[in-house]
Amino acid sequence: EIVLTQSPGTLSLSPGERATLSCRASQSVSSSCLAWYQQKPGQAPRLLIYGASSRATGIPDRFSGSGSGTDFTLTISRLEPEDFAVYYCQQYGSSPWTFGQGTKVEIK
Amino acid sequence: QVQLVQSGAEVKKPGASVKVSCKASGYTFTSYGISWVRQAPGQGLEWMGWISGHNGNTNYVQKVQGRATMTTDTSTSTAYMELRSLRSDDTAVYYCARFLATSGTRYYYLDVWGKGTTVTVSS
C-alpha cells in the first residue's frame, strides 16, 4: 500500500499569500496518477488537479500541481478567501487507492 | 448536468446492515465507474473500493473486504454500497464519486462527487 504523507498539517496564511502544500509517497506513484482535492466544511471533496499537474474543469489557474515519483506539490499562487479549506492528495495508480491525511489552510 | 444523488441519512444498530444508493445522471453510466469513499467525524478521507459501470468488476480495500458489496443497476444508472455487520467505527459520511473506467488507470481520478450519506451506528 502506498502511504501518502502531507505537510504541513496546518498552514496559516493571509489572503493574497502563496500556499505551498506537499504530498510525499512511500513509493513511486505510477504514471503520475496523483490528484488533489479541496474540501470545505459540510461539503464533498472537489477535484482540483489530476495527473499531478492537470487542472480539472473550472479550476482557477491560481491552483497548480507539480511533481513526479514520490514528491508532489500543490501551489496556490494568491490565496482568495474561498481557498481556505482542507486539501487532500490521493494516488490512484495502484491498489489500494490511498489519500493523504490532509492539510488545512487557515486564515492567519 | 452531471450529478450523483445519494440516498438519505441512516441510523443503524451494531451488527445491522446498510445499503446506500448513488443515482447518476447527465452522462453515460457504463463508461464510468463509481468509487466509494468514507469520512469518519473529524477525520480524513478513506477509500473503500470501486465498481466499474462498464463490466461490474469490483475492487475493495482489505479493511472492508467481506463486509462490503458494491453493485450497479445499469437500467437505472444507480450504484449501491452495502456494508454488513456494522460497528461503531463505521459511523461516517459515505461518498460516491465517479471515475472514467474505460481508458486506463491514468483516468481513475474522481471528478464528480455525490453530496454524501451520513451513516450513524449506535445502540
Nearest chain B CA: its distance from A32 CA (Å)? 8
Rg (chain B; Cα; Å): 14
Band of the pLDDT at A32, cuts 50, 70, 90? confident
**Quick check: A88 and B109 CB within 8 A?**
no
Tell me if B109 sits within 8 A of A92, measured CB to CB: yes
Spans in chain B with pLDDT lower than 70: none
**How far is B18 from B60, CA to CA, in rounded Å?**
17
SS (HEC) of A38-54: EECCCCCCEEEEECCCE
Residue of A nearest to B43 (CA): A101
The percent of residues in chain A predicted with pLDDT above 90, rounded, is 97
Nearest chain B CA: its distance from A35 CA (Å)? 7
Residues of B with Cβ-Cβ distance to A35 under 8 angstroms: 109-110
**pLDDT tens digits for range B85-107:** 999 999 999 999 999 988 888 88
